[in-house]
Amino acid sequence: MFSLLAIVPMAAIISAFLIYRKTGKRDFLKFDSVQFIYAFIISPLLFIWLKSFLYFLMRQEIDLRLSMDEIFVIDTAFSVLVLFIYAFIVIHSLTKSFELKRYVDPLYDVFSHSEALHLWVSHTALYAGVMGLFSIISLANALVPMEITSTRLVFYGMLGLGFFGGVIGFGAIWLSNFTEAIFLKIMKIAIAFFFILHVAVYFFVEPSFNSAYLMYWMITMALVAMVICSFLFERSERAASWIERFHHKTGWKKGNFLLSKSKFKL
């Protein structure tokens, strides 16, 4: 165990030095490829290593006889601190990518670059990632029932909450589509994928319609709402009018953010 904990940081540091000379030569998802590796591969790997090393110390090396609850509190506080640091690492990788582009071309359009990152990388990863995380919880619940008992009224109320959350979620996705790009189509494909996955799991696993499978049914209802909205929102003049008014109230004007499709290619 200790040898593995010693090898991981050494390998990460050595690899970081070896790839540094490739800085500025290639891009990946609008990031400089080296900065992307630093922010999204090496840093998360070191974060997991730090948590593992802390747990190893608390359980085996430091004779404090901590309970599991105390270890959980310490680990949570440590994780929050490291996540704050990681947020600044990502910001550095982003601004470093801008700096490299401006160094090569002083007239480089940083605004267009930042909008491409804002829409294609952050929004796509955010919405697809959230759907993926909730789907993992949902499908795990379909396989392993929870030890929860509730009245039918509470159960149906939670399903209604899930449906309402799906409507809100699709509204957030649509509000993010403030350019004439294909972002909304990609999100609809993601919604359809997770919905079909849940339907397929239902036919194979056949979870009961009760509170023991509450998470599965809540997420399924949210996906049902998102599928319905994906069909109805664009066809509804009232919904389109509401979105336009909301854009105006929040200071978003489509004309100001209308960027060329070619600038958003990955």
194-217 residue pLDDT tens? 999 999 999 998 888 988 899 999
Question: Above pLDDT 90, what percent of the chain?
Answer: 26
pLDDT band at 160 (very low <50, low <70, confident <90, very high): very high
Q: Which residues have a Cβ under 8 Å from the Cβ of 162 and sit 6 or more positions away?
A: 217, 218, 219, 220, 221, 222, 225
Closest CA to 79 of 125, 29, 44: 44
Sequence spans of domains, the chain: 2-108, 112-264
- The single-letter code of the amino acid at 135 is S
Query: Looking at residue 2, what is its pLDDT?
Result: 56
Q: Does the pTM of the predicted model rise above 0.75?
A: no
pLDDT score of 251: 47
Residue 223 pLDDT > 90, yes or no?
yes
- Identify the residue with better confidence: 45 or 108: 45
The DSSP annotation for the chain comes to: -HHHHHHHHHHHHHHHHHHGGGTTT-EETTEEHHHHHIIIIIHHHHHHHHHHHHHHIIIIIS-----HHHHHHHHHHHHHHHHHHHHHHHHHHHHHHHHHHHHH-TT--HHHHHHHIIIIIIIHHHHHHHHHHHHHHHHHHHHS-------HHHHHHHHHHHHHHHHHHHHHHHHH--SSSSHHHHHHHHHHHHHHHHHHHHHHH---SSGGGHHHHHHHHHHHHHHHHHHHTTT-HHHHHHHHHHHHHTT--HHHH---GGGG--
pLDDT of 248 > 90? The answer is no
**239 pLDDT higher than 70:** no
Radius of gyration of the chain (CA): 23
Say how many C-beta atoms besides its own lie within 10 A of residue 156's C-beta. 12
User: Residue 223 is encoded by which pair of tokens?
Assistant: 């996906």
Question: For 165-182, what is each residue's pLDDT tens digit?
Answer: 999 898 888 877 655 557
> CB within 8 A of 50, min separation 6: which ones?
78, 82
pLDDT tens readout for residues 46-100: 898 888 888 877 777 666 677 778 888 888 999 999 999 999 998 888 888 888 8
Rounded Cα–Cα distance for residues 91 and 98 (Å):
11
Reported confidence tier of residue 130, pLDDT bands at 50, 70, 90:
very high
Q: Hunting for tokens 């499908």 — which residue is that?
A: 139
Q: Does position 134 have pLDDT exceeding 60, yes or no? A: yes
Percent of the chain exceeding pLDDT 70 equals 82
Distance, CA of 124 to CA of 265 (rounded, Å): 13
Q: Measured over all CA atoms, what is the biggest interatomic distance in the chain, rounded to whole angstroms?
A: 67
Mean pLDDT of the chain: 81
Higher pLDDT, 183 or 265: 183
Confidence of residue 234 (pLDDT cuts 50, 70, 90): low
What's the pLDDT score for residue 246?
59
Confidence check: pLDDT of 249 > 80: no
Please report the pLDDT score of residue 108 as a whole number. Answer: 78
Band of pLDDT at residue 138, cut at 50, 70 and 90? very high
**CA–CA separation, 227 and 138 (whole Å):** 17
Q: Is 60 exceeded by the pLDDT of residue 260? A: no
Residues 6 or more apart from 183 whose CB is under 8 A from it? 119, 120, 123, 124, 176, 177
Distance CA 83, CA 133 (A): 18
